[in-house]
């Protein structure tokens, strides 16, 4: 931006995606929030806010299922454990959930693999369009990046969400999309290497079929662990403070240098 642009932007924001005309009305992405959007479900509003598009009932039911099926109220799951520690440390409800959600933007799970999984299916589809075979796409991906996000749990430990999700997708008729079928083809290919599809690949491919970009997908997923965190926070809060898996000094196992003087 030029200095002139910056000077102009000090006092004026043009082309905003929304505005609250207080005491009058609210507009989100060209629609009146209360007149035109007020009677639909919250999830539909969320994805409208993210994409500016409206989704049909089956698609929204699937998105709702994703949120429900990912709400694991288990304090051993890292972001949930943050909420539990927040509870045992007696911090506020909002700070607890914010902390848990913030750590969900992780490398080993959560938002980074989610985005990368969708990115793979979108790039794979483009390469297939250009004439590559699926085997070539997979082998190149593994050669370049060493991993295909969304595949990895050993076959004996199939992600428990996968069967429920596939069944529900079939009921909704959402199992015919291109990216999802690429995901299945990749699974069949990788099965020979002892790898199986996990829920991240299923979700990412179906949401790619609905036209989400990776950034839109991450925005949609950002709050997805929140319902599972709440019981973890409350459970820790109802116990004595500091009572969530306390650690004795001797269970802090030290492997550093020996004692020395400053």
Partner 1 sequence: MSDTFELHSSIWREEPQAENPFTAERCFAYGYDVYGDVLPKSSWPEYLLLLFTGERPTAEAAMLLEKLAIALANPGPREPSVRAAMNGGVGGSVDAASLIAALAVGAGQYGGSHEVYLLVETWNRLGADLDGWKRYLAQPNQGYREDVWSPIEHAPGFDPHGVHCAKPVLQSLTFLAEVSPGSALAWLCVHRSELEHQCGLPLAMSAVAAAAFQDLGLSGSQAIMLYLMLRLPGAAVHALEQEKLGWKRFPAYGPAIHLSDDPGALGTPDVSRFEL
Give the residues lining the site for partner 1 (CB under 8 A).
1, 3, 6, 11-16, 18-20, 22, 24-25, 27, 29-32, 35-36, 91-92, 94-95, 98, 102, 105, 111-112, 115-116, 119, 145, 214-215, 218, 245-262
Q: How far is the CB of 60 from partner 1 (least distance, A)?
A: 22
Sign (positive or negative) of CA dihedral 145, 153, 114, 118: positive
Tokens matching residue 15: 């082309």
DSSP letter, residue 240: P
Nearer to partner 1, 141 or 209 (CB): 141
Nearer to partner 1, 115 or 179 (CB): 115
Q: Report d(CA 155, CA 153) in Å as an integer.
A: 6
Whole-angstrom CA distances from 6 to 14, 17, 81, 146 are 13, 20, 44, 44
For tokens 């932007």, what's the residue?
9
Q: How far is the CB of 108 from partner 1 (least distance, A)?
A: 11
Whole-angstrom CA distances from 66 to 61, 89, 189, 200, 221 are 9, 31, 26, 10, 9
Q: Is residue 204 a contact partner of residue 197, using CB atoms and an 8 Å limit?
A: no
Q: How far is the CB of 141 from partner 1 (least distance, A)?
A: 11
Q: Report d(CA 133, CA 124) in Å as an integer.
A: 10
Q: How far is the CB of 5 from partner 1 (least distance, A)?
A: 9
Q: How far is the CB of 168 from partner 1 (least distance, A)?
A: 27
Rounded to 10 degrees, the C-alpha dihedral 118/121/122/124 comes to 150
Nearer to partner 1, 59 or 110 (CB): 110
Q: How far is the CB of 194 from partner 1 (least distance, A)?
A: 20
Sign (positive or negative) of CA dihedral 244, 69, 114, 43: negative
Q: How far is the CB of 49 from partner 1 (least distance, A)?
A: 14
Nearer to partner 1, 85 or 174 (CB): 85
Nearer to partner 1, 23 or 192 (CB): 23
Nearer to partner 1, 1 or 156 (CB): 1
DSSP letter, residue 75: T
Tokens matching residue 158: 């199939």
Nearer to partner 1, 156 or 247 (CB): 247
């Amino acid at each position: 931006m030029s200095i002139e642009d910056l000077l102009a932007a000090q006092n004026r924001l043009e082309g905003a995606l929304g505005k609250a005309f207080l005491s009058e009305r609210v507009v989100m992405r060209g629609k009146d929030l209360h007149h035109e959007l007020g009677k639909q479900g919250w999830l539909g509003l969320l994805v409208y806010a993210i994409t500016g598009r409206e989704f049909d009932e089956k698609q929204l039911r699937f998105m709702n299922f994703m949120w429900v099926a990912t709400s694991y109220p288990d304090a051993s799951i890292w972001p949930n454990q943050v909420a539990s520690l927040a509870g045992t440390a007696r911090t506020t409800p909002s700070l607890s959930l914010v902390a848990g959600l913030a750590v969900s933007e992780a490398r080993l799970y959560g938002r980074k693999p989610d985005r990368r999984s969708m990115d793979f299916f979108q790039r794979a589809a483009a390469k297939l369009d250009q004439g590559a075979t699926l085997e070539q796409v997979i082998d190149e991906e593994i050669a370049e990046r060493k991993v295909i996000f969304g595949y990895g749990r050993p076959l004996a430990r199939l992600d428990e969400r996968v069967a429920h999700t596939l069944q529900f997708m079939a009921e909704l008729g959402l199992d015919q999309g291109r990216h999802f079928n690429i995901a299945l083809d990749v699974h069949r290919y990788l099965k020979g290497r002892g790898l199986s599809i996990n829920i991240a690949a299923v979700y990412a491919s179906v949401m790619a079929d609905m036209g989400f970009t990776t950034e839109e997908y991450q925005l949609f997923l950002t709050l997805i662990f929140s319902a599972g965190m709440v019981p973890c926070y409350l459970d820790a809060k109802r116990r004595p403070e500091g009572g969530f898996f306390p650690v004795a000094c001797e269970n802090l196992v030290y492997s550093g240098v020996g004692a020395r003087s400053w």
